[in-house]
Chain A
Amino acid sequence: MTRLPLLGLAIVLLCTACGNDTSTPTTPTPPPAGPGTETMNAVMAPGGTAIRTFTASAAGTVTVALNGTSPPTVVGLGIGIPGGAFGGCDMTATVNTSGGPGAPQITAPVGAGDFCAGTFDLGTVASGGVVVSVTIVHP
């Protein structure tokens, strides 16, 4: 009569010991990369920047458009590579613009890699800041 309880206890203990074999390795999730359109809406403070980084998955053409600002203000719009410069973005090409509909203000050929784009104050942003809307299309 004592065999079955002992056997049951042993099986329960063993099942418990074996039940936590969660040794399946987790695969790091790669950052999303690929063609895409990214839109940034941000408030830029006086003397500040509004920068977004993105990854081009292949060589191609990037366009950067300042859709507009509120209130209407002329700001700097640029594209570059992430770095230690102004706003964390070493600018390659810049234009001064208040934005609006129409063709993107910046078109640039790129290789595959990480880039950044956005706006920076030219000294025209009032104390309340300015809302900027930037669209980046990349390969």
Chain B
Amino acid sequence: MRHAFLRPIVFALALAMTACGNDTSTTPTTTTGPTSEIFEGQLPGPGGSQFFSFTVGTAGNASITLASVTTASTPGTSINVPLGLGLGQPLGTDCNLTQQTTTGPGLAPQLTASNLSPAIYCVKVFDVGNLAVPVNFAVRITHT
């Protein structure tokens, strides 16, 4: 009886603990979309080639854009020289192409691939007989 005055306090505590017990903070959901990588390099001249490997993490599409071809002598100034652009998978010390095209630089993808399985792939840039001087190039690869 002498602790009867504590009952309201205990009751309030119980109510408050119930009220505080549902602080379930939700973590923002993040969705993973396609990622873009830039492959920049230089072809030294006639017959030159370079390739770049990338990993497809989940099955999906890929697009490849030869976006820039410039010469070292005129930095910043583009040249419209067609180069070979290919997609494949690394094999030994090379890139074994499964599809390729010859194209000048542009801002829309020149190569696309559908339903790539998760694996390592490569993009290769190569001279098709048009190069007389070294050129710098940039390729954008968008993949899952």
- Interface residues of chain A, those whose CB is within 8 Å of chain B, are 2-3, 6-7, 10-11, 14, 17-18, 21, 23-28, 49, 59, 62, 76, 78-87, 90-94, 108-111, 113-115, 120
Contacts and interface: CB of A to CB of B under 8 A. Distances in A.
B87 to A, nearest CB: 16
A111 B28 CA distance: 29
Nearest to A110: B107
B5 A3 contact: yes
B76 A110 contact: no
B70 A85 contact: yes
A4 to B, nearest CB: 9
B108 A18 contact: no
Contact of A113 (B5, B36, B106): B36
Contacts of A23: 23, 25
Contact of A2 (B5, B28, B67, B107): B5
Interface residues of B, number: 36
A77 to B, nearest CB: 10
B84 to A, nearest CB: 18
Contacts of A82: 38
B140 interface: yes
A135 B16 CA distance: 60
B38 A81 contact: yes
